[in-house]
Structure 1
Amino acid sequence: MHARTVKIAGVVVALAAAGPVHGQSGPGYNTYGAPGLIDMPSALMRPDGELAFTSSHFRNQTRNTLTFQFAPRLTGSFRYSPLYDIRGGGPSGTGDVFDFIFDRSFSLQYQLFDETDRRPALAIGLNDFLGTGIYSSEYLVATKTFGDRFRVTGGIGWGRLGSANGFDNPLGVFSDELKDRDDVEFRGGGEVSNVALFSGDAAFFGGVEYRLNDRTWLIAEYSSDDYAPEDGTAFDQKTQYNFGISYQANDYINIAANYLYGSEFGIRATFALNPQNRPSGSGRDPGPPPVRPVPASSPPPGLPASVIQSTEAALAAEGLGLHGIALQGDRVTVEIENTRYSATAQAIGRTARVLTQTMPAGVGTFTVTPINRGIRGTSATIARGTMERYEFELDQTWESYARTRFDEGPDPLAPLPGRYPAFSYSIAPYLAEALFDPDDPLRVDVGVSLLASYEPAPGLIVSGEVRQRLFGNRDESTRESTSVLPRVRSESNIYQREGETTLHRLYGAYYFQPGETVSARITAGYLEPQFAGVSAEVLWSPPASRLSYGVEINYAQQRAFEQDFDLRDYDIVTGHASVYYDMGNGYFAQVDAGRYLAGDWGGTLSVERRFDNGWEIGAFATLTDVPFEDFGEGSFDKGILLTIPVDWITGQPSRDTINRTIRPVQRDGGARLSVPGRLYGIYADQSVEDYTADWGRFWR
């Protein structure tokens, strides 16, 4: 064993007996965009919920990484790397040399223990277990802080991280299969590695970090990566030592300069934000109307038209539509349509404030029921006295929540006269991107869209969107599909190329509730840019249950490339059975099983984290009966889901969101019809669980 390997091993052993810790932040991200030193990982976690984009470069190596701290101990990364002069064969670098490739890889790191006064933080990680295999590796790493300025990291790696000055795998005592590691085939991406994890030679790595001041860190590390796929082709590696300096420019941006492997200079920049931290604090909402106390009185015999009109006008000033109103005894029931606030609890709170101003003195109880597309949400009933008593109390949030009753509410109300028909429209810019084309990884179109909606009756909606592209380069893609499946998605570039002025969507939908806990939808028309058809859905949400169940069936026919009214010959019946599970603490899971657009059968698993302010970040994977080789590049459909609420950015109340699905590659297998206005999103936004999570905004 080499002397320097012994020294690194000693660092790992010494960490267990480390002294007291004084917590501080550090550079945080390495060149792979994961928690680490320079090129090596560390055992530290980023703040819970942090979302970061890292771009790093040194000779022929560019790595672009999106990393999310999905849970306090779990970090996930998706990496997209333009690489030059790379040998195939994974970490061993024994294959042919590729002049240029776009490499895609996924990484996971889980912290087994956090740092305490007596022990280091300890984490385990997997690199490139779903990708081409170039960065395939596993590791166990420990990190310990000494005082206010000094931090030490040491670890043991396998695969690529066990390739420099390696030694026999200590895990070989448990199984002979772990003693050797087969060469990783240069996969097309998406296939799980066929190599046993933590197998083959192992090697030690480690490093130190020293804080010069609150913004600047000096870093030195010993790397266990011998860069076999790159050494001698992409660059010349001379040593295993790396040195760097990291600078925290502001709350969001960290930059670093590195000297790598005795021959190369490199740079790294990381932009990190936390969805839990609004740039504008709690927002710039206009102040709510005050609560107006009134003396006790007998219930009125009815509501005069003037009271209804003043209530409607006051709610409209708060961005809320009065759908219906009724008085029974001393209780007034209102149905509202929330068009302004991302938190339904805030809409309920504003409604209750308005009712204290407009209702006669004898009305002592308010029941507020939100309604969206004809689907009624959970009702909230609160006493007028609670509004008066707790408006200025220190613990007003908890006290008002504890005194509010949530249930299915009374029977639906008749709409106010003149409420229907309703018409609305808007003109807005749009931005549409196409990612990860091997010829050009980022293509963008910018244009203007006209959206219009007509509601002749409750739950009945006719909606459409016309788009005009102004400029962009999505039409420059000329790559032809090689799919052996029906080309339901792999010719998306032709739709982007042929569509100048397009009918993006035009459909009619009817929403109704056949039972108290059952919602239904029927939608027909030009449902998305590539398909028209008819879709029917039923959602059952049992009371007091974390589970909901849905069934959807669709008939879809492919649209013409020009995205006008013409249709193509391909048509299919698809459908899915779905289970939705609220895991608590903002985590949600969804399983869909059924038939997809190419006629394949299978299932999709989606896991999301939803923040109280409207952010949603998750991932999904779809496996069907299409073999990996028939699916093509990527092997199966997978991606990242991202929803950003506009009010988080602007600070102004809004229900608009920016929704993106980031796929490493779009193929035909596992493709699902994109139907607007599916039921679960409407239900979840108006459920008692949603109110509970957002009740802190009830008094806003």
Structure 2
Amino acid sequence: MKYHFIPCLLLGCCTWAVAEPRYTQSDFGGVGLLQTPSARMAPAGELSLTASRTDPYSRYSVSFQPFNWLEGSFRYTSISNRDYGAEALSGSQSYKDKAIDAKVRLFEESHWIPQVALGARDIGGTGLFSSEYFVGSKRLGNFDLSLGLAWGYIGNRGDIDNPLGWLDDKFDERPVSTNSQAGDFNGNTYFRGSPSFFGGVTYQTPWDPLSLKFEYEGNDYQHEPQNNNQVQDSPINLGLVFKANDSVDLHAAWERGNTAMFGITLHTNFATRKAPTKSFDPKPEPVPDVKPTTAPTDVQWAGVAKRLQNNAGYTVSRITQRDSELIVYGEQGRYFHTPKAVGRASRILDNSVNDKIDWFTLVDTRYSLPVQEVSLPRDTFREVVQEDRPVEDLRRVTEQNVPVPHQEKTLFAQKPNPFTYGLGLGYKQNVGGPDGFLLYQFSADLTAEYRFRPDLWWSGTLSANLANNFDKFKYDAPSGLPRVRTDLRQYMTTSDVTMPTFQVNKVKQLDQDFYGMLYGGYLESMYAGVGGEALYRPMGERWAVGVDMNWVKQRDYNQGFGMRDYSTITGNATLYYRSSFQDILGALSVGRYLAKDLGVTLDLSREFSNGVRFGGWVTLTDATKEEYGEGSFGKGIYFSIPFDELMSSSTTRRASLAWTPLTRDGGAALARSYSLYSLTERRNIDLFHNNFYKVTE
């Protein structure tokens, strides 16, 4: 085949007008053509779920874009003409392969230069579909051209000698791994063997919902995993993408010259999408043109406290006055974004007192821990709400301070209701095992809390099984470590009514930036014990450091009050850092895990201005590969999305989805219900300032 378009692509010699591109997912997941990737990236914040079928492969992928320059995907591939394992274990389940992909943009497109990316598929695990590649893409009018060079699966045809062979002969041959396990990194194969060119064109038709794809593959399907070679009548693939609406893409193609492909992608962008209108929230109180004439000492503060709770989300403990400043102490539990709560509370206070008060201060607490103090000038706030001044004027003069004791006069104090409870639906899953592709449990969860004092409380959960197929979970996998997590099946199937948590907790502010916590009881579904944590988190700083230490004992499988024999001491020292560059939050923990192995965990995430997080973690310990078993070390990715971005009523809760290739015993951490870093999350200065405009909502 002659590559007549290569010079034009690489040099950008054409001068066609550049149209606005629309990038779509490949069959594997990740922005690309059909079987091959392109150098394009979705906008930061994009999350896509893709399912595609090209016989004998069904692929299910989740792709996420934490940065404009980085794309990540995880994927399950079902090989329908191969069994997972022995019929006694897996029945008729088809073979499932897990994979993690990554792509990094090296150069952005310019008038003369294409966008260039470096990527890898299946970078951890059995490596059945592993591949590494360089690819460039150039936009020419309504055409988006791509050309790349791939090693491994994408380039299995091996058209050319490996140029890296000039550096070392080892690059001439690609090792065939015979003992790779899910979760391993196959670094000894990267960029080795004979590569092939691949490429193609995406054409945006005049009809906006429809785009067409033309692709040349570098794979000849004669080196397929598990000797599952396929007939390829043509290396040319032809396809289309139909945009059904803003969130749904439908895919169809003719691949290998003899096989149909069908797929669907569901996608949204959590950085740019608008949250639903909060139609179920109460309306904020209006600000009258004339201030009230009631003196602070004459206000019926019990009624004001009730309005603050119902409209602004503050469960008030006391209201005080210091000169011309009115101060409200309370726990704000309704609005995810603090400025919205502060604005609504300021409206209520403005409607309640005369003009002797010039400043409103809201002290936000969690279980009596003073987290932050926000003060704003009353007159500037009124002018902004009445649209006489821009909100930026108010942001400049609003103060965030460390909450410290003041000489002040108490106008009102109350003891909130000590007992609260809630009923919700619980869901647990295990994906991609030999016992079944999806093992799940739905439960009805009753949670309750009783506060003996604001800083001392009991909390517990009672869970009733509604639907559960964990009885299929038979494969425990070999482990040379104590079974601290791999007894999952027994914990999920022994009893239909369980008590995952039942514990007492005590917190204390040790200094203005220093917090402590003690806890004891049934801490999670598998462990009971006692422990403590200390956290130093300076106000206005981007870093924090914490230490936790716990003695725990394994619980009975029925999650009642009984205990098993295994016990251990576990804990970590953790350094947190939130970077102003690219909004990266990092947590580096060093310590002892449940299986008594010592190691380190690195957690990196990107937090967008609305609180959505995309992240991943890796754990390395002193457990050997033989002791750890399948997987070699811990790893996973996660998404954490405020329910506020999904619902028509305000809430402080989050929806979290974590994915890890395997549940193993090595690097297993205690799943504590509370952490001081989470309890003090409202010291996040970026989240406050990025959402300050909500002060008027």
Normalised to the residue count of structure 2, the TM-score between the two structures is 0.93
Q: Which amino acid aligns with 2:666?
A: G
Residue of structure 1 in register with 2:368 after alignment: 374
Aligned partner letter, 2:576: Y
**Equivalent residue for 2:643, pick from 646, 649, 654:** 646
| Deviation of the 1:40 alpha carbon | 0.7
Partner residue, 1:467: 463
* Separation in 1, partners of 2:612, 2:185: 30
What whole-Å deviation, never above 9, does each CA across 1:241-291 have from its counterpart, x for those lacking one? 211121111111111111111221121211111112446545434331123
Match of 1:91 in 2: none
CA contact (8 A) 1:254 1:271 kept: yes
Q: How big is the shift at 1:635?
A: 1.6
Q: CA deviation at 1:557?
A: 0.7
Contact 2:424 2:446 in 1 (8 A): yes
Query: Which residue of 391, 413, 431 maps to 1:435?
Result: 431
Q: Mark the CA change 1:378 to 1:600 in structure 2 (over 3 Å): closer, same or farther.
A: same
- C-alpha distance in 1 between matches for 2:438 and 2:345: 45
Provide the rounded CA distance (Å) in 1 between the counterparts of 2:642 and 2:540: 28
Cross-structure match for 1:162? 155
1:257 and 2:238 are equivalent in the alignment: no
- 1:448 Cα offset (Å): 1.3
Contact 1:239 1:261 in 2 (8 A): yes
Distance (whole Å) between structure 2 residues aligned to residue 230 and residue 295 of structure 1 = 76
Instruction: Encode CA deviations 1:28-80: one digit per residue, 9 max, x unaligned.
Output: 11111011101011111112110111111111211111110110111011111
Aligned to 1:661: 658
Partners of 1:198 and 1:231 in 2: CA distance? 21
**Letter paired with 1:156:** L
Distance 1:320 1:394 in 2: 28
Equivalences for 1:463-502 in 2 at 5 Å? 463-502=459-498
- Contact conserved, 2:52 with 2:263, CA < 8 A, in 1? yes
Partner of 2:630: 633
Moved more, 122-131 or 194-203: 194-203
Provide the residue aligned with 1:79 in structure 2.
75
**d(CA) in 2 for partners of 1:198, 1:478:** 38
**What is the letter of the counterpart of residue 28 of structure 1?**
T
Decide which moves more: 252-261 or 112-121: 112-121
Candidates 48, 56, 67, aligned match of 1:60: 56
1:233-248 pair list within 5 angstroms: 233=228, 235-248=230-243
* 1: CA distance, partners of 2:263 / 2:103: 20
Contact 1:18 1:144 in 2 (8 A): no
DSSP-derived class of the 1:291 partner: coil
- Aligned amino acid, residue 308 of structure 1: W
Paired letter, 1:523:
Y
The correspondence of residues 179-328 of structure 1 with structure 2, limited to 5 A, is 179-195=172-188, 197-212=190-205, 213-227=207-221, 228-230=223-225, 233=228, 235-278=230-273, 280-281=275-276, 283-284=278-279, 285-292=281-288, 294=290, 303-304=297-298, 306-318=299-311, 319-328=313-322
Q: Is the 8 A contact 1:166 1:202 kept in 2?
A: yes
Counterpart of 1:239 in 2: which secondary structure? coil
- Matched to 1:208, the amino acid is V
Identity %: 28
Deviation at 1:555, TM superposition (A): 0.7
Partner SS, residue 689 of structure 1: helix
User: Do the aligned residues in 1 keep the contact of 2:526 with 2:557 (CA within 8 Å)?
Assistant: yes
CA drift at 1:13: 5.2
Deviations 1:116-139 (A, max 9, x none): 333221111112221211122111
Does the aligned pair in 2 maintain the 1:15–1:142 contact within 8 Å? no
Shift of residue 378, structure 1, vs aligned partner:
1.8
Q: Letter of the aligned partner of 2:163 in structure 1?
A: P
**Match of 1:452?**
448
Residues 52 and 262, structure 2, Cα contact 8 Å, conserved in 1: yes
User: Would you say 1:548 and 2:541 are equivalent positions?
Assistant: no
Counterpart selection for 1:670 from 649, 667, 671 = 667
Among 40, 44, 47, the residue aligned to 1:44: 40
- Aligned-residue offset at 1:99: 10
Task: Find the aligned partners of 1:31 and 1:463 in 2 and give their Cα distance.
Answer: 46
With over 3 angstroms needed to count, the CA separation of the structure-2 counterparts of 1:8 and 1:486, relative to structure 1, is: farther
CA–CA separation in structure 2 for the residues paired with 1:73 and 1:282: 31
Gaps of 5+ in 1: 89-97
Q: CA deviation at 1:449?
A: 1.5
Task: State whether residues 60 and 234 of structure 1, in contact with CA within 8 Å, keep that contact through their aligned partners in structure 2.
Answer: no
SS of 1:178 mapped into structure 2:
helix
Whole-angstrom distance in 2 between the partners of 1:173 and 1:632: 37
Which residue does 2:117 correspond to in 1? 123
- The reply on whether 1:567 has 2:560 as its aligned counterpart is no
Instruction: State the distance in 2 between where 1:474 and 1:416 align.
Output: 53
SS in 2 for 1:108: strand
Q: Secondary structure at the match of 1:634?
A: coil
> Which residue pairs with 2:325 in the alignment?
331
Alpha-carbon distance in structure 2 between the residues aligned to 1:597 and 1:377? 31
Could you tell me how far 1:420 is from its partner in structure 2?
Answer: 4.5
1:397 aligns with 2:391: yes
Q: Could you tell me which residue of structure 1 aligns to residue 508 of structure 2?
A: 512
CA separation in 1, counterparts of 2:411 and 2:574? 33
Shift of 1:155: 1.0
Q: In the superposition, relative to structure 1, how do residues 496 and 77 fare at CA in structure 2: closer, same or farther (>3 Å)?
A: same
How far apart are 1:444 and its partner, in Å?
Answer: 2.1
Counterparts of 1:349 and 1:244, CA distance in 2: 52
CA shift digits 1:471-528 (9 cap, x unpaired): 2323332334532211110011111111310112111111111000001111111111
Partner of 2:679: 682
Distance 1:188-1:165 versus aligned 2 partners, 3 A rule: closer
Q: Per the alignment, in what secondary structure is the counterpart of residue 435 of structure 1?
A: strand
Hey, what's the Cα distance between the residues in 1 that align with 2:273 and 2:101?
28
The alignment status of 1:558 with 2:551, answered yes or no, reads no
Looking at structure 1, the residues matched to 28 and 20 of structure 2 have their Cα atoms a distance apart, in angstroms, of 22
Does structure 2 retain, via aligned residues, the 8 Å contact 1:17–1:119?
no
Match of 1:384 in 2: 378
Deviation at 1:646, TM superposition (A): 2.0
Q: Which amino acid aligns with 1:254?
A: D
Counterpart CA distance in 2 for 1:123 and 1:396 is: 42
For structure 2, the residue ranges without an aligned partner over 5 or more in a row are 85-91
Q: Please list the CA deviations of residues 144-174 of structure 1 after superposition, one character each: whole Å capped at 9, or x if unmatched.
A: 1222x22211111122233214211223334
TM-score (norm 1): 0.92
Whether 1:538 and 2:553 are equivalent positions in the alignment is no
Task: Tell me the amino acid that sits aligned with residue 183 of structure 2.
Answer: G
Is contact 2:446-2:462 (8 Å) kept? yes
| Counterpart code for 1:199 | R
Distance 1:416 1:220, change over 3 A: same
Confirm or deny that 1:138 pairs with 2:132: yes
2:89 equivalent in structure 1: none
For 2:143, the equivalent position in structure 1 comes to 150
Instruction: Give runs of aligned pairs for residues 93-108 of structure 1, distance below 5 A.
Output: 100-108=94-102
Deviations 1:607-632 (A, max 9, x none): 11222333222111111011123212
